Structure 1
Amino acid sequence: MTNSTAIKRPLGANDTPARIAVTCALAGPALDLLRTVAEVEVPDADRPLSADELRSLVAGADAVVVTVHDKVDRELLDAAGPALKIVANVAVGYDNVDVAACADRGLVVTNTPGVLTDATADLAIGLLMSVTRRLAEGDRMLRAGTSWSFRLDFLLGCGMQGKTLGIVGLGQIGRAVAQRARAFGMKVAYTGERASNEVEQSLAARYVSMDALLREADFVSLHCPLTPQTSHLMDAAAFDRMKPTAFLVNTSRGPIVDESALADALEAGAIAGAALDVFEEEPRVEPRLLAMDNVVLAPHLGSATLETRTEMAVLAARNVVSVLTGSGALTPISS
């Protein structure tokens, strides 16, 4: 089931080699780095592990490296046992980790901020271009062998110049999207935590309430973390406040959008279209969305470049090595 390499420092429980449980395949440089300090166990399965498989894998581990689809709850921490020192999440968001439960056990939790900012921002703009210019729709038409000819009214889309991009969450990724939006001639409004005057001025970004953003924006792009407060932030009431010509883009977390309410809004013409990289119940997608030409769907590709995924994995590995060798975490999450 697993492949592992034992190296005898640092020592774990009972003076045995420290052990690192990795829940999925990582880039080679990250695994090589982990193997310099411990025995590394990686499942052969090319899929998310079940809860039982996760508990079995982490039992007795000194460190655990997880991804966004691995639920790190009290049961998993209990299964790991007292040797566990760090949970390294290969992602920026950490809604999959019970940070409070980790804090109760004195565990360090880390994430991978910064390294995936540009890749995710690029994808957000790419999704926006695809849905507004009907690129995926045209691609499907050609692949289906549908007859066509150039006409001045053929597959007309929506331009971005002069339009307002509403950004929900002006963190690192939100700011990177705003920079790209300016290059396309868009105006930027944002909501969420207020940025500094310097950031607002550098991005020509205008702070507005959530209600005002939904009413004013031609494009709404989600970049907030998933919390109890943001779960189903985009619900039926939110879609009712958007322009009927507006588009939604989500590269944050799936449950921020009520997919059923989104499908209802699209069917009713309450908004013009949507582009989603994340979903409420991944890998499941609301079936009605699959049948809609004005919806562009991607299978969670926000950080999916070779360079970015490698950097994410290496940063997670560096956090583990640093904690196990007593130097402290590089990018810790506080509870």
Structure 2
Amino acid sequence: MKRRLVITRTMPPAVAGRATAEYHAQYLDMIGPFDAEAFLAALPDADAVLVTPADRIDASVIAQIPVGVRVIGTFSVGTDHIDLQAARASGLAVVNTPDVLSFATAEIALTLMLMAARRAGEGERLIRARAWGGWTPDFMLGSSMEGRTIGILGMGRIGQALARMAQGLSMRVIYHNRRNLPAAQEQGATYYPDEVDFLGACDVLSIHLPGGPATLHWLNAARIAQLKHGAIVVNTGRGSTIDDDALIAALTSRHVAAAGLDVFAAEPTVPAGYLTLENAVLLPHLGSATHETRAAMGMLALDGIAAVLVGDEPAHRVV
């Protein structure tokens, strides 16, 4: 007999096909904010759920999940959208999808850095507005990344992939973590234990922090002031790690030369201050958005859900 799986959002075709073949799959096809009422209404007789980072599975939601639901699979590496403590207390397993999205997300970080440095967004807007007056030697000058220093804040799998890419651009790579990594994982990067020294050395700061209270507004006005004047800020981690008002002020004053942002604290809402800044490159959370990566993420989530339901230990269990 097939188990019953509730899926909050539309999945890539290969993932949806597998879910339909292996389960009585119910798709809620949510768009925009998470609808907790619709989610909970679909759960009677469910065995498992597959959610996304756009779905806020907090303690109040978990308290109402029927006891027949055994596992929450999340279509993400990050789990800050799920109250893990409440899940553990309720006996719910939580599985995620690490590893498979590292390269794709690092690609977006690299894209944002280059777009910000070379004013690519500004240039494209000029073309689309039919406002380009022609080439001159001093037209829209940006900055080369060759020989510049990129600081990676959070040297996990994505940070390590970005370090390899940045070295291909002849960049110097440094990183700041709670502790230094084994040499085999450093990818030739230099560890900076002191955050003030780290920030002061960055021509580019690329943020790869998880969300949650411990990292809320990590990049605030005080830390921005420690950045080298004219630095570029890139964020593909979590929007909550940046104090948006402080970064907007720094972009306006040009203490921060440019920013490339793929994530925002209140997605899909983007702080209005960014929208009028030519030196802000903004993307709609495209970090893992390739056909190959999203399919791999979905398959990994289904693998984890299946393992829990048959009593095996999943490869990527969070709780």
Q: TM-score, normalised to structure 1's length?
A: 0.91
- Following superposition, the deviation at residue 329 of structure 1 comes to 1.6
Which amino acid in 2 is paired with 1:66? V
Q: Quote the residue 1:198 is aligned against.
A: 184
- The offset of 1:36, in angstroms, is 4.1
1:43 aligned onto 2:28: yes
8 Å CA contact 1:59, 1:79 repeated in 2: no
Distance 1:181 1:282 in 2: 28
Conserved? CA contact 1:27–1:309, under 8 Å: yes
Partner of 1:184: 169
Q: Distance in 1 between matches of 2:296 and 2:33?
A: 21
Matches within 5 A, 1:1-335: 8-9=1-2, 18-193=3-178, 194-200=180-186, 202-334=187-319
Per-residue deviation, residues 7-47 of structure 1 (Å, max 9, x unmatched): x23xxxxxxxx311100011233233333443111024444
Query: Secondary structure of 2:127's match?
Result: helix
1:4 is aligned to none
Of residues 99-108 and 119-128 in structure 1, the stretch that sits farther from structure 2 once superposed is: 99-108
Is the 8 Å Cα contact of residues 8 and 29 (structure 2) preserved in structure 1? no
Aligned counterparts of 1:44 and 1:117: Cα–Cα separation in 2:
26
The DSSP-based 3-state class of the residue aligned with 2:256 is coil
CA distance in 2, matches of 1:205, 1:54: 46
54-63 or 293-302, which moves further after superposition?
54-63
CA separation of 1:161 and 1:62: change in aligned 2, threshold 3 A: same
Q: How far apart, CA to CA, are the structure 2 residues paired with 1:99 and 1:19?
A: 23
Query: What one-letter code is carried by the residue in structure 1 that aligns with 2:166?
Result: A
TM-aligned CA deviation for residue 295 of structure 1 = 0.6
Post-superposition offset of 1:106 = 1.7
Cα offset for 1:79?
2.4
CA distance in 1, matches of 2:55, 2:29: 16
Cα distance per residue 1:144-179 (max 9 Å; x no partner): 011422111110001101111000000000000000
RMSD across aligned positions (CA): 1.4
Q: Deviations over 1:120-162 (max 9, x none)?
A: 0001001100010001100000110114221111100011011
What is the number of residues matched between the two proteins? 318
Report the Cα distance in structure 1 between the residues aligned to 2:137 and 2:300, rounded to whole angstroms: 50
| Structure 1 spans left out of the alignment, 5+ residues | 1-7, 10-17
The answer as to whether partners of 2:32 and 2:268 remain within 8 angstroms in 1 is no
Query: Which ranges of structure 2 fall in alignment gaps of 5 or more residues?
Result: none
Question: Counterpart of 1:35 in structure 2: which amino acid?
Answer: T
TM-score by length of 2: 0.96
Instruction: Please report how far the alpha carbon of residue 290 of structure 1 lies from its aligned counterpart in structure 2 after TM superposition.
Output: 0.5
Q: Distance in 1 between matches of 2:225 and 2:189?
A: 28
In 2 relative to 1, CA 234–203 (structure 1 residues): closer, same or farther, beyond 3 Å?
same
Distance 1:271 1:46, change over 3 A: closer
- Shift of residue 66, structure 1, vs aligned partner: 0.4
Whole-angstrom distance in 2 between the partners of 1:50 and 1:288: 28
Seq. identity, %: 35
2:42 aligned counterpart, secondary structure: helix
2:55 & 2:236 partners in 1: Cα distance? 19
Pair 1:60–1:260, CA change in 2 (3 A) = farther
Deviation at 1:267, TM superposition (A): 1.4
Matched residue type, 2:238:
R
Secondary structure in 1 matching 2:209: coil
